[in-house]
Amino acid sequence: MQAITTLARSTRLLIMDVDGVLTDGRIFFSATGEEIKAFNTLDGLGLKLLQSTGVKLAIITGRAAPSVEHRARGLGVDYYYAGIHDKRAALQSLLEETGFAADDCAYIGDDVVDLPVMIRVGLAVAVPDAPSLVRQHAHYVTGAAGGKGAVRELCELILQAQGNLERLMAGYLE
């Protein structure tokens, strides 16, 4: 766990996939064809806590769904890349836009399309139901499933590694 803490300590940008990470991977469609997704509020608060320490947030997702854009805007996600089929190219654009090095980034994903980013960042994270190949290339696999607190778990891991979790939680205990 010490190695994970060391990797998490240098995280300045958290990059996330959406389906299977911020959601449980299921996609619902309304009668009019609108895509509907469910997001976990635990993840949302974790992201807000992480942002409060200066860590930036990014989403790179293969689907372009209005519900995801709405959630990203509501969370104040700093960088939003939707409808992306080449996540490696999106990562490169993101690094150029932010000025961060790949080692400054953590990424959480759930499928093989996430591997081109996972193998390049400083901290690669997978959810437990990701395919074996994805879990093998992750530095850390969350205990919580995608859409069920996996992102919150990662946020708290980063906050703990950077020495901020206890201070932030103390504010809720006063």
Binding residue positions: 17, 19, 110
Q: Which DSSP state fits 53? A: T
Question: Residues annotated as binding site for substrate?
Answer: 19
Give the alpha-carbon dihedral of 69, 140, 115, 95, to 10 degrees: 60
Strand-strand pairing, 105-109 and 13-16? parallel
Binding residues for Mg(2+): 17, 110
Task: Give the C-alpha separation, 134 to 25, whole Å.
Answer: 16
**27-37 CB burial, b ≥16 within 10 A, e <16:** eeeeeeeeeeb
Q: How far is CA 60 from CA 9, 17, 171, in A?
A: 22, 5, 32
